Amino acid sequence: MKERIAVIDLGTNTFHLFIVELSKREVKTLYREKIAVKIGKNGISKGRISADAKKRALHTLQVFKTIIDQFEVKTVTGVATSAIRSAKNGQQLLDEIKEKTSIDIQIISGDREAELIFYGVKSTFHLTETPQLVMDIGGGSVEFIIGNNEEIFWKQSFEIGAQRLLDKFHKDDPMPQESIEEMSSWLETELSSLVSAIEEFKPQGLIGCSGTFDTLSEIYMKENGIERAPNSLIFQFPIEANNRIYKELITKNRKERMHIPGMVTMRVDMIVVASCLIQFVLKHMNTENITACAYALKEGLLYTSFSHIKISEKSTPN
């Protein structure tokens, strides 16, 4: 008996729709969509979802509803994260979505979000006994998880996502050196618990989930004439390459960044502060590579909600 399931992730920057078909412990991906709704724009730093963002969100969910119906999906699981979680009118938006589309979206805690991200990575990555640091940079929050193939040792969600960092620090373009230094100093305080956890558990690698890490890996591949393998879920690139890209990002303005091969429009604004955040984390780690992983929250939600299934063949770094 085949069953079709839709997973929806309402992120601060991007709304995701993931439709799969379950059969005999296997999963067939039928449809993937991501739309840059930018629900945190012009409101996240004020704790509200703006009227324009609300319109974009409702329109996108109506599109998702049409697609879900076309695929005759009966089971829909949806979650909302940082921007909606922290907005005074976040639940009001979800109530309107339920009224207009019949799609029920649940707000999840940052702690639960971090856990789901780790299981998304674990579903496709050959973790070993060696602890790894998993990092997911969203628009509203950033999740860090230290774990191995057996367990999660430490996890925490911080409300310091790329949209929030952009509003707070990237006010001039290119981002001035003094703003970069101010942000780094601020992160020392905000992420002191992360620094302590890194010192305690000593993760040996950094695994970055989707978003910024996908774009950084694309830039690296374009620079080096590397073709991404079909259906590749993870890609590894050296710290030295990341450092070169970082220096390029902080010295160029938006128009110049858009001309970097591999850059995508939806990342061009937030990638500067996101890259600064990655540099801060790497400063406290001893690793030679970054591994970009395409799986994150939505796959973790599928993995945990339907734990009897096998999402994908696990991958090893390129």
Comparing CA positions, the residue from 73, 62, 67, 71 lying closest to residue 100 is 62
> CA 262, CA 258: separation in Å to the nearest integer?
9
What's the chain's Rg over C-alpha atoms? 19
Please provide the DSSP assignment of 29-86 as one string.
EEEEEEE---TTTTTGGGTS--HHHHHHHHHHHHHHHHHHHHTT--EEEEEE-HHHHH
| Residue 46 amino acid letter | K
155 and 85 within one domain: no
Q: How many domains does the chain have?
A: 2
Instruction: State whether 203 and 244 are in the same domain.
Output: yes
pLDDT tens, 162-213?
999 999 999 999 999 999 999 999 999 999 999 999 999 999 999 999 889 9
- Within the chain, residue ranges assigned H as helices are 51-70, 82-86, 90-101, 110-122, 162-169, 177-190, 192-201, 211-224, 239-251, 254-258, 271-283, 297-305
| pTM assigned to the model | 0.92
For the record, the structure tokens of 42 come out as: 């012009």
Chunked into runs of 10 residues, the chain (318 residues) has average pLDDT values of: 90 94 83 93 89 97 98 95 95 97 97 96 91 96 97 97 95 97 98 98 96 95 92 93 98 98 95 98 96 94 69 44
221 and 189 both lie in a single domain? yes
- For residue 95, the domain's CATH number is 3.30.420.40
The answer on 284 and 224 residing in a single domain is: yes
In terms of domains, do 145 and 268 share one? yes
What pLDDT shows up at residue 1? 64
The C-alpha atoms of residue 151 and residue 2 are separated, in whole angstroms, by 31
The pairing of beta strand 142-147 with beta strand 3-10 = unpaired
* C-beta separation of 235 from 287 below 8 A: no
Convert the pLDDT of each residue in 245-277 to its tens digit: 999 999 999 999 999 999 999 999 999 999 999
User: What is the reported pLDDT for 306?
Assistant: 67
Q: What is the residue range of 34's domain?
A: 3-107
- Look at strands 3-10 and 15-23 and give their pairing: antiparallel
Out of 107, 131, 155, a domain closes at: 107
